[in-house]
């Protein structure tokens, strides 16, 4: 039998030659196609408007990326674990209001940031409880809290109206820059926060027991449980992290707009984050996806909507385009999966008769 099984040509054998192939392998085919798409898109936009490469515009893209990017980091964990979190935008709304209240009423910026993240963690734990203890499907559970948490944000905000907050220190989080030396316009602080969070998350997902367990439970929850992974505990951590990062995103929205916004600025974030994670190579069925891929996709989406704004494409078209992109992202994932299954069917047929 040993001889028979060898007849199945192992896929990937032919991959190990040539620098291009090696590069493809280390970056991943999905990520490479994202990079190519990004380059093509930048070339297209830049050829239409020279304003694209201006310092102000690039800073703008960096700042816009931060909010969606932070949420997409958490969403990557959630989706890799075969879950979904639709409530992220609403959590960000709650956090935005809570942060603004803390800063304007109590006068503590650190407190504002901490409470913003804290309410995010709390609401994430609510999600995990509904999913793990009440055994409600993740999509339904977070669709419910998507509505409930948005309502909560309006309830917390006095009179349901935005809470103004004029604090220069807090504003730095939204529009401040590091390394503003001479001609160099600097790097937005919000973008630096995203970069630090993404690098940490990348490390956690790749090299820690927690990260590897997220991949295992997403790929096959039953097998993961039988290998000693506590799924309930994992879900609490995962949704709490997603909540915390949504909370942080909400804080940045407050900082940028100088007001605690129950809705404006945090609506539709779930759609963008979910689109980015799927576009970044994650599978709806779980077990696959990387922080690197998600971040590339966030950059791609931020560039796309920036470009559409610069070219004067109306918002309505942009909404349609975003919807189409989500379908496209998941369809590509399904197509990859189907191809892998065909491959396996072929191997099984060839290897086992």
Partner 1 sequence: MKSAILEVRGVGKSFPGVKALSGLSMTVHRGEIVAFVGENGAGKSTLLKILSGDYDLDEGSVLLDGVEVAHATPLDARRGGFRLVRQEPEIVPHISVAENIFIGEYPTLGGGRVDFTAMRNTVNDLLERYGFAGLVDIEALGRTLSPAQMHIVEILRALKDGVKVIAFDEPTSSLTKEETDRLFDLIRLLRDEGLGVIYVSHRLHEVMEISERVVVLKDGVPTGDLMTAETTEQEIVQLMVGRELAHGFQREETTTDEVVLEVEHLSSRWHRDISFRIRAGEIVGFAGLVGAGRTELAKVLFGEFERTGGTVSICGEEKNIKSPADAIAANIGFAPENRKAEGLILVRSVIENVSMAIYSVLARFGVLRNREMYDAVSPYVRDLDIKTPSLDQEVGKLSGGNQQKVVLARWLAAKPKLLILDEPTRAVDVGAKAEIYRLMDDLARRGMAIMMISSELPELLSMSDRIIVMSDGAISRPVEKADATEEAIVNLALGKGMA
C-beta closer to partner 1: residue 105 or 137: 137
Which span (43-51, 132-140, 144-152, 345-353) binds partner 1, by CB under 8 A?
Answer: 345-353
Q: Pattern of binders to partner 1 over 168-197, x per CB under 8 A?
A: ------------------------------
Which span (178-186, 248-256, 296-304, 340-348) binds partner 1, by CB under 8 A?
Answer: 340-348
Which span (58-66, 99-107, 164-172, 212-220) binds partner 1, by CB under 8 A?
Answer: 212-220
C-beta closer to partner 1: residue 105 or 207: 207
Query: What is the DSSP secondary structure assignment for residue 285, as one 8-state letter?
Result: T
Q: What whole-number distance in Å separates Cα of residue 345 and Cα of residue 65?
A: 41
Q: What whole-number distance in Å separates Cα of residue 319 and Cα of residue 312?
A: 14
Residue 335 Cβ vs partner 1, minimum distance, rounded to whole Å = 15
Helix or strand holding residue 164 (H, E): strand 163-164
- The verdict on 213 binding partner 1 (CB under 8 A) reads yes
Q: What whole-number distance in Å separates Cα of residue 175 and Cα of residue 169?
A: 10
C-beta closer to partner 1: residue 26 or 47: 26
Q: What whole-number distance in Å separates Cα of residue 248 and Cα of residue 115?
A: 10
- Backbone phi, then psi, for 162, in 5-degree steps? -55, 145
Residue 288 Cβ vs partner 1, minimum distance, rounded to whole Å = 5
Q: Which of 147, 208, 315, 334 binds partner 1 (CB under 8 A)?
A: 208
C-beta closer to partner 1: residue 181 or 209: 209
- The verdict on 24 binding partner 1 (CB under 8 A) reads no
Q: What whole-number distance in Å separates Cα of residue 49 and Cα of residue 28?
A: 32
Q: Which of 70, 283, 298, 299 binds partner 1 (CB under 8 A)?
A: 283
Contacting partner 1 within 215-244 (CB under 8 A): 215-216, 219-220, 222-230
Pairing of strands 177-178, 163-164: unpaired
On the 0-12 / 13-18 / 19+ scale of CB atoms within 10 A, 221 is middle
Q: Which residues of 277-302 are buried (b: 16+ CB within 10 A; e: fewer)?
A: bbbbbbbeebbbbbbbbbbbbbbbbb
Residue 197 Cβ vs partner 1, minimum distance, rounded to whole Å = 18
Q: Pattern of binders to partner 1 over 285-324, x per CB under 8 A?
A: x-xx------------------------------------
Q: Which of 212, 263, 308, 330 binds partner 1 (CB under 8 A)?
A: 212
- The verdict on 28 binding partner 1 (CB under 8 A) reads no
Query: What is the DSSP secondary structure assignment for residue 292, as one 8-state letter?
Result: H
Q: What whole-number distance in Å separates Cα of residue 72 and Cα of residue 46?
A: 26
C-beta closer to partner 1: residue 7 or 47: 7
Contacting partner 1 within 104-163 (CB under 8 A): none
Which span (142-150, 177-185, 213-221, 296-304) binds partner 1, by CB under 8 A?
Answer: 213-221
- The verdict on 20 binding partner 1 (CB under 8 A) reads no
Which residues contact residue 2 at a Cβ distance below 8 angstroms, ignoring those fewer than 6 apart?
none
Residue 341 Cβ vs partner 1, minimum distance, rounded to whole Å = 8
Place of tokens 């192992």: 10
DSSP string, 89-148: HHHHHHHHHHHHHIIIII--HHHHHHHHHHHHHHHHHHHHHHHHTS---HHHHHHHHHHH
Q: What whole-number distance in Å separates Cα of residue 336 and Cα of residue 323?
A: 20
Which span (91-99, 104-112, 279-287, 308-316) binds partner 1, by CB under 8 A?
Answer: 279-287
Q: What whole-number distance in Å separates Cα of residue 275 and Cα of residue 254?
A: 24
Residues engaged in binding partner 1 (CB under 8 A): 1-13, 207-210, 212-213, 215-216, 219-220, 222-230, 283, 285, 287-288, 340, 343-344, 346-353
């Amino acid at each position: 039998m040993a001889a028979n099984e060898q007849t199945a040509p192992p896929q990937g054998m032919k991959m190990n030659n040539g620098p291009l192939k090696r590069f493809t392998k280390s970056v991943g085919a999905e990520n490479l196609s994202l990079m190519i798409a990004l380059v093509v898109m930048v070339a297209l936009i830049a050829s239409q408007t020279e304003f694209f490469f201006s310092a102000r515009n690039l800073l703008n893209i960096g700042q816009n990326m931060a909010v969606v990017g932070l949420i997409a980091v958490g969403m990557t964990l959630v989706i890799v674990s075969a879950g979904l979190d639709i409530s992220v935008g609403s959590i960000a709304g709650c956090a935005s209001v809570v942060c603004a209240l803390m800063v304007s009423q109590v006068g503590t910026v650190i407190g504002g940031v901490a409470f913003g993240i804290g309410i995010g963690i709390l609401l994430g734990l609510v999600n995990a409880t509904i999913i793990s203890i009440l055994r409600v499907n993740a999509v339904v559970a977070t669709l419910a809290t998507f509505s409930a948490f948005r309502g909560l944000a309006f309830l917390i905000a006095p009179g349901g109206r935005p809470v103004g907050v004029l604090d220069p220190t807090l504003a730095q989080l939204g529009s401040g820059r590091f390394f503003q030396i001479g001609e160099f316009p600097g790097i937005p602080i919000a973008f630096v926060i995203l970069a630090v969070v993404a690098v940490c998350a990348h490390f956690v997902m790749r090299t820690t027991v927690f990260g590897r367990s997220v991949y295992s439970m997403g790929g096959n929850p039953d097998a993961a449980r039988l290998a000693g992974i506590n799924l309930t505990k994992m879900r609490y951590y995962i949704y709490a992290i997603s909540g915390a990062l949504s909370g942080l995103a909400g804080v940045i929205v407050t900082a940028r707009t100088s007001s605690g916004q129950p809705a404006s600025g945090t609506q539709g974030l779930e759609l963008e984050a979910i689109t980015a994670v799927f576009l970044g190579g994650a599978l709806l069925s779980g077990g696959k996806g990387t922080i690197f891929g998600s971040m590339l996709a966030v950059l791609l989406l931020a560039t796309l909507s920036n470009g559409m704004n610069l070219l004067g494409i109306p918002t309505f078209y942009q909404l349609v385009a975003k919807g189409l992109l989500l379908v496209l992202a998941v369809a590509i994932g399904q197509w990859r999966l189907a191809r892998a299954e065909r491959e396996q069917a072929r191997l099984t047929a060839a290897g086992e008769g």
